Structure formats: C-alpha cells, structure tokens
Amino acid sequence: MKNVIKKIVAMGLVLSMTGAVAACSKKKGMTVKKGTLTMATNAYFQPYEYYEDSKIVGIDAEIAEKIAEKLGLELKIVDVEFDSIIAGVQSDKYDIGMAGMTVTEDRLKTINFTDSYAKGVQAIIVKEGSEITDADTLLSGDYKVGVQQGTTGDIYLSSSPEDGGVGEDRVVRFSKGNDAVVALSTGKVDAVVIDNEPAKSFVAANSGLTILPTFYTEEDYAICVNKNNQELLDKINQALKELTEDGTIAAIIEKYIPSNS
C-alpha cells in the first residue's frame, strides 16, 4: 500500500497547491456575469454535492455560498458532467469548478486551483466476500476497476502499473459514480475506486457491497479557476482563509461528515 502511494506521489498527481499554481495576468472581469458567481459541479457526489428535491446541497455548495457572500455575489450552481467542468471554466462559461476536485499536474496545465479546503480519500468498493482484500491485491491481479470518468480515481488507475495504476485496459469508465457501483453489483467490474464519502453512501444504498479497510490514496480538494482570472483566484483564497480561521468551513464539513460517525 505504501508503495502505491509513493508511486502516485512520484508522478506528481497528488496535491500541488498554490505555490505551484501559475499566475497569469487577468484579461477579463472577475465574473462572467456581473453580480453572480457561477459554480460548475457534478451533483452526484454526496456529501459534497447532491440533490435534495430540486436543490443542490452539500459541503461544496455551502462553502461556495459562503465564498459568494464574502465576495458580495450571488451564487449560481450549474450541474454538468464532471469531465466538462474544467473546459467550462477555461472558456469562461463558469467562474469556478467545485466538485470534490483534486489538483493534479495535468489539470494545472490548463487551469488554476485555490488553496485546499478539504481532504478526501480514494476508497475501494468490492462485493462482500471478494478475493480483493486491499489495494495491492487489486493492482497485482487482473481485475476490472470501475471509475467515474475524469475523476482522480480515473487518472490514478489509468496510469501504468509502474506508476501505481492498473493501465487503460483494466479501467472501465462511467459518467456517474453510481453507474460504476451498479456495474460492480451486476458483476461487470470487480471493484470501484471512488472518493470515500460518496462510497459510504453507495454502499449503504446497495446491499452486498463493502469498502475495503485500506484506501487507495489520499488527496486534497480545491476550487478551479480560469488561469486568466488571477483576481478571482486571489479573492477566493482570501475568503477561504477567513472561513477557515473563523471555523466556518470546519463546521460545514462537520455537519455533513460528523467526526464521531
């Protein structure tokens, strides 16, 4: 397991925070539409973003709301496919992307990221009684692994075995995490690698599945911003700093992920 994490770190795919973010001159206004902060997300990632009736709620939604308040803006959340978030922010269709998103070297080539606001764990879901008992077993066997397309689980697993992954041939991509879990339940894949908190929800809703006690890797979540909008990046980082210092972010995370759970 330690070897897996070391290989991923060696690739530079785990966190590379603000010090590594390239600063570019701002070419456009702070927001696409004056007075509105438009956030792109993929609202199938409980507890970070999900639907309650027709409203998108969750950790990211509440933190974004607090950031918008700090900036004197109204928050608008748009639900899109996960792998279209960065492209939408690049094209100024959306101001920010926030969807339990991890900073990676590949993503940093096209987008900027704020400071981290939360930590995540890539968990492994298998069927109860599976011969897959840990990450090393998963990697060393010939198992098919389901992932949500465009996520860090996809990025990590699609890399070569030498770099801590299983390679493209063993990865099966799905547009939603739930679709990957359904494929696991029906025997189309042997395991699913996805963030730990959504994994808990998926396992609770699908009998016969379990989360392995050892995880695949750890990561930090951040907000993506257009490289040409340094002003917005700076303002969000300042807002995150204030919301961290006054305990707001910790309280939001505790609300959705109680520390005694």
Residue 127 lies in a domain: yes
Helices marked H in the chain = 2-11, 59-70, 85-90, 105-108, 135-140, 152-158, 177-185, 196-205, 230-245, 248-256
Task: Answer yes or no: do 207 and 125 share one domain.
Answer: yes
Task: Answer yes or no: do 50 and 111 share one domain.
Answer: yes
Task: Answer yes or no: do 37 and 95 share one domain.
Answer: yes
pLDDT score recorded for residue 143 = 96
Residue 187 lies in a domain: yes
Residue 3 lies in a domain: no
What does DSSP say about strands 191-195 and 145-148: parallel, antiparallel, or unpaired? parallel
Residues 86 and 112: their CA atoms lie apart, in Å, by 10
Tokens representing 94 are: 């959306």
Whether residue 185 contacts residue 206, with contact meaning beta carbons closer than 8 Å, is answered with yes
Task: Answer yes or no: do 227 and 114 share one domain.
Answer: yes
pLDDT score recorded for residue 260 = 59
* Prediction pTM value: 0.67
Task: Answer yes or no: do 112 and 13 share one domain.
Answer: yes
pLDDT score recorded for residue 30 = 61
Residue 23 lies in a domain: no
Neighbours of 90 (CB within 10 A): 16
Task: Answer yes or no: do 74 and 203 share one domain.
Answer: no
Task: Answer yes or no: do 42 and 114 share one domain.
Answer: yes
Structural domain that includes position 208: 120-218
Residue 251 lies in a domain: yes
Counting residues of the chain whose pLDDT is more than 90, the rounded percentage is 66
Task: Answer yes or no: do 208 and 142 share one domain.
Answer: yes
pLDDT score recorded for residue 219 = 81
What 3-state DSSP class applies to 74? strand
pLDDT score recorded for residue 240 = 98
Task: Answer yes or no: do 196 and 152 share one domain.
Answer: yes
Q: Which residues of the chain have pLDDT under 50?
A: 1-28
Residue 175 lies in a domain: yes
Residue 81 lies in a domain: yes
Q: In the chain, how many domains are there?
A: 2
Task: Answer yes or no: do 114 and 234 share one domain.
Answer: yes
Residues 7 and 170: their CA atoms lie apart, in Å, by 18
Residues 171 and 236: their CA atoms lie apart, in Å, by 35
Task: Answer yes or no: do 214 and 178 share one domain.
Answer: yes
Residue 101 lies in a domain: yes
Q: What is the CATH number of the domain that holds 34?
A: 3.40.190.10
Task: Answer yes or no: do 110 and 165 share one domain.
Answer: no
Task: Name 173's bridge partners.
Answer: 147
